[in-house]
Amino acid sequence: MLHSPVRTPAEGILIDQPWGKLTWLASRELGNSTTMTFGRVIIPAGQTNPRHRHPNCDEILHLLSGRLEHSLGDQKYLLNPGDTISIPAGQWHNARALDGVDAEMVICFSSADRETEFEG
């Protein structure tokens, strides 16, 4: 039986966190990729996700709306809608939504089995 290559948000895996929402749309776990993980993230205004790293894969984050302050290693970067940041495997990072507006982004990882480690 052939499965559709299209995945709707309702068919993804929704993860509610205190700092926002992740919706995973492609991964090995979902059965629709053997090489990548892809999802959508919303960080509500003023919220910050915990500092973390992905030891087994690169991450690319593309900001759709809102503004972010994104730490990467010991540097901080301001992202505006349309900006993309590339995060090498193993680099500590996190993001904070700015300006009283939710930050909405898509994220992609170079592994279908993304690993995450949290600082501290």
Binned at pLDDT 50, 70 and 90, residue 1 comes out as: very low
In a domain, 102, yes or no: yes
Number of domains observed in the structure of the chain = 1
Q: What is the pLDDT of residue 2?
A: 52
For residue 25, CA distances in Å to 56, 59, 71, 75, 85 come to 19, 15, 25, 30, 20
In a domain, 90, yes or no: yes
pLDDT at residue 3 is higher than 80: no
Among all chains, which residue has been given the structure tokens 């991964």? 27
In a domain, 54, yes or no: yes
**pLDDT tens digits, 57-70:** 999 999 999 999 99
In a domain, 76, yes or no: yes
Alpha-carbon torsion (47, 119, 12, 62), positive or negative: positive
Domain of residue 102, residue span: 22-118
Q: How many CB atoms lie within 10 A of CB 40?
A: 17
Q: What is the pLDDT of residue 87?
A: 98
Report the CATH number at residue 108.
Answer: 2.60.120.10
**pLDDT tens digits, 67-113:** 999 999 999 999 999 999 999 999 999 999 999 999 999 999 999 99
Q: What is the pLDDT of residue 91?
A: 98
**pLDDT tens digits, 13-28:** 999 999 999 999 999 9
